[in-house]
Amino acid sequence: MTDGVPGGTLTLADDLSLTRMGYGAMQLAGPGVFGPPRDRGEATRVLREAVELGITHVDTSDFYGPVVVNELIRQALYPYPAGLRIVTKVGARRGPDGSWRPSLDPEDLKTQVRENLEHLALDTLDVVNLRLPETPESEQALAEQFGTLAELRKEGLIRHLGLSAASMDQLDQAQAIAPVVTVQNLYNVAARGDDPLVDRCAAEHIAYAPFFPLGGFSPLQSQVLADVAARLGASAHQVALAWLLQRSPTIVLIPGTSSVAHLRENVAAAGLALPADAIADLDSIGG
């Protein structure tokens, strides 16, 4: 692993430092994040290149594939380099048709943690995010589910805990049970609904990892974004990632790709400094 990856490092605990430019492994699975990769060799090269570029933050889950992505990570990177931190999540299962199904029964959460451990060949998971359902009625109490993960933390199977797709109130609930070091929610230059939570995470030194930082399955498309990118001689994707890094000091990025070339482009974005006029223009996109 090399030092000095653009974007710097965020230290959240004595045993948890993450490069702010991370790598999201979700897209290593097949279409729809289901089944084997189109190109297993390229998937392996992407993971190894991420490490070579100095990235210490890999985001994954056993429900990517399912199992496929965690096994790719193990095959490509085990034994893991010192300093590499793997962040995973639990709270869902996949149907035979590739559907995403919430699975928050405490006993199954324990099983999911153990499956992640097995497929990654780890004794302890660095960070486990509790993935909550993304539905209007999902403002549910999470004490039982988060408490289950907190017990596994006490047992030594998990070092740190986080939340995914969480509200401000759910962060309050979780913090009353155990420390929260990461929040992983939908957020990008065009989807700004989480602005207050981004600011809260910065104030409380919690890592905020935007999923779909580039728009996800509906890629970001904006003339303003394209114009700023043209002015700066960068791609629109690079500008969108750079905006996130400058938006908050505790934002960490986990853009996904199954291409080495795209991975290098993403990492280069972390070294792109946006001038004030560019940020003002980009801020006009959000709603």
DSSP 31: G
Is it the case that residue 281 has pLDDT exceeding 90?
Answer: yes
Identify whether the C-beta of residue 152 lies closer than 8 Å to the C-beta of residue 124: no
143 falls within a domain: yes
CB-based contacts of 172: which residues, under 8 Å, 6+ apart?
A: none
Q: In what order do the strands lie in the sheet with 23-24?
A: 23-24, 57-59, 85-90, 125-131, 158-164, 180-186, 207-211
88 falls within a domain: yes
SS3 of 222, please? coil
209 falls within a domain: yes
Range of the domain at 30: 11-219+251-256
pLDDT tens for 129-187 read 999 997 655 566 899 999 999 999 999 999 999 999 999 999 999 999 999 999 999 99
Domain count for the chain, please give it: 1
108 falls within a domain: yes
**Given 64, 80, 187, 208, the catalytic residue:** 64
**Domain of residue 167, CATH code:** 3.20.20.100
Active site residue 80: no
pLDDT tens for 17-34 read 999 999 999 999 999 999
